[in-house]
């Protein structure tokens, strides 16, 4: 697993074999394809561990994360930006992602609104 302060460059195949996602909760992964990830929600799936959200640095970045599936008005989900990760795509282009990780690990499923 990547340490909080570490910036690594790895191939997309290595990334997928280790974490397998763009949005994930501890190896239970799914992906959202959008030009603006803010004002959307994801569901951290059932399981235990930290919640991770990776967003390309070229896209709008969130201002916060709330427990909601409809707006930025639920309970706060404390989340830290723990650094960046560079992934080389299949065409050889580098994509830099900000890595957001929930401050606390948790058990269960939770909806997470990505605020702007």
Q: What is the pLDDT of residue 32?
A: 74
Structural domain contains residue 3: no
The reply to whether 1 falls in a domain is: no
Number of folded domains that form the chain: 1
66 within a domain of the structure (yes/no): yes
| pTM recorded for the entire structure | 0.73
pLDDT band at 7 (very low <50, low <70, confident <90, very high): very low
- Please compute the mean of the pLDDT values over residues 38-47 and round it to a whole number: 87
Answer whether residue 4 is part of any domain: no
How much is the pLDDT for 108?
Answer: 84
Distance CA 70, CA 111 (A): 9
Alpha helices (H) in 1-116, listed in sequence order: 12-18
| Residue 54 falls inside a structural domain | yes
Range of the domain at 48: 9-115
**Distance of alpha carbon 104 from alpha carbon 88, whole angstroms:** 29
Predicted pLDDT at 18: 39
Is 25's pLDDT higher than 60?
no
Q: Tens of pLDDT along 61-110? A: 999 999 999 999 999 999 999 999 998 888 899 999 999 999 998 888 89
CA-closest candidate to residue 41, choices 63, 60, 22, 66: 66
Tell me what percent of the residues of the chain surpass a pLDDT of 70. 73
State the distance between the two ends of the chain, measured CA to CA, in whole angstroms: 29
Let me know if residue 2 belongs to a domain. Answer: no
């Amino acid at each position: 697993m990547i340490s909080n302060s570490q910036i690594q460059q790895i191939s997309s195949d290595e990334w997928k074999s280790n974490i397998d996602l763009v949005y994930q909760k501890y190896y239970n992964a799914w992906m959202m394809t959008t030009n603006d990830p803010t004002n959307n929600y994801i569901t951290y799936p059932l399981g235990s561990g930290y919640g991770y959200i990776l967003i390309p640095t070229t896209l709008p970045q969130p201002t916060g994360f709330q427990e909601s599936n409809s707006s930025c008005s639920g309970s706060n989900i404390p989340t830290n930006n723990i650094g960046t990760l560079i992934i080389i795509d299949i065409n050889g282009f580098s994509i830099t992602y900000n890595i957001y990780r929930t401050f606390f690990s948790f058990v269960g499923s939770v909806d997470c609104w990505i605020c702007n």
